[in-house]
With several copies, the nearest count.
Chain A
């Protein structure tokens, strides 16, 4: 490694010491305005490419983490992350690919009602959040994913969601015609 300049070192130290991923502004608040944070991040990204530690961008935030191919030396004594139910995984995927999306829209895509617990579990994991109301009759609440979601699943942005461009091109992410589909599938649906 070539010893980096003090600006790069400062950004490196701040990211290394931080307990959570940091935005450009948060980094700048620590290292001061005299440092080109963007350039320092680019330098660090290059410096760490191919090492056992990597600098990654998750949403608008940056952090260091171990390289993905090192999982085998790290995993042994870790608890496996709590397994999400199938309903939970599908609901999370639907929110991530369609956000902001209402509960009724999620239910329409899955063809079943969502149990209350499903959204709660995703909120508790801090992967989804309420994202305002849709200005349609009933003003239903919409849901969207969070910065923690991107960070947890290793996505630089929602554009990194696997296959999202193809799905959109195929029209599979278009908003659902709710009135029609609910009438068709579940006329006795007593969902709230």
Chain B
């Protein structure tokens, strides 16, 4: 049996497929299923072996052949891929459904299923033939040839420059403005001058008895930039008044609150 194909197997499979059945060891044969492209392909091969138009095909006969094939394969301990067995199971179901009394509940009906299987075989067959006819067409580089050394077509790009009159005038405005003398004007900002701060701190310090923080000398409505300016000026004023001996200053440590007290 080694390396040979049993006669009853030949009945079911086309020559090019059977040639791929090879002996693996004494009692196990392996089918190189690359020969068939899946169970549908095998079914089509079997159907074509019936030598009838696919439309006249007896699905029952076909199913029986497929099941016989799988049975023989099992008996010979051929290892079939799982999808072949799945197809066999489905076909066995289809066969029994076709043979047994009709279950009106079943949807779709077995006849419908058989018809669909036949349609699928027809469709695969049609595409196989279409592919073959396509390949037989005059193909460029095999049957017909384009010019091998065409001169080629060239596209030369030419720039068309665009600018609007506004762009031109605005550009000149920009250049002129850029090179004209630039005058810097500082916007007016709310500040407290040193003089005002000295006057204010010396006036307020006379009204207080005890130590007061420098912040307590700022105007209550001072906020933002003006408050910063007032704080800086009041601090300088406190230093100036301390230098004149009008106030005393006290601070526990760096960044701690600064206290001011009149010396009078």
Which residues of A are at the interface with B, using a C-beta cutoff of 8 A? 13-14, 16-20, 30, 63-68, 70-71, 74-84, 86-90, 92-94, 96-97, 109-112, 121-122, 124-125, 127, 151-155, 161-164, 167, 170-176, 179-181, 183-188
Contacts and interface: CB of A to CB of B under 8 A. Distances in A.
A158 to B, nearest CB: 11
A152 B40 CA distance: 30
A153 B170 CA distance: 13
Interface string B36-54: 0111110000000000000
Contacts of B244: none
Interface string B137-179: 1111111111111111111111111111101111111111111
Given A109-B175, A167-B176, A79 B37 contact: no
8 contacts: A71-B142, A96-B134, A109-B123, A153-B137, A172-B174, A175-B177, A180-B177, A185-B40
Given A79-B160, A94-B172, A185 B90 contact: yes
Interface in B53-92: 82-83, 86-87, 90
Interface of B: 37-41, 82-83, 86-87, 90, 113, 116, 119-120, 122-124, 126-135, 137-165, 167-180, 182
B130 A167 contact: yes
Contacts of A175: 170, 173-174, 177
3 smallest A-B Cβ distances: which pairs?
A111-B40, A172-B173, A112-B38
B184 to A, nearest CB: 12
Given A81-B139, A84-B161, A16 B175 contact: no
Contact of B168 (A64, A93, A110, A186): A93
By CB atoms of chain B within 10 A, which of A77, A79, A80, A172 has the most?
A172
B46 to A, nearest CB: 13
Given A17-B147, A155-B137, A188 B86 contact: yes
Given A71-B144, A82-B162, A97 B127 contact: yes
A99 to B, nearest CB: 12
A61 B10 CA distance: 50
Contact of B150 (A17, A88, A111, A112): A17
Given A185-B40, A185-B90, A179 B174 contact: yes
Nearest to B144: A65
Contacts of A112: 37-38, 40-41
Given A111-B41, A153-B139, 17 more contacts: A13-B145, A19-B152, A65-B151, A74-B154, A75-B142, A78-B155, A80-B142, A80-B157, A82-B162, A152-B139, A152-B141, A163-B133, A167-B130, A175-B170, A176-B182, A184-B116, A187-B86
Contacts of A71: 138, 142-144
B112 to A, nearest CB: 10
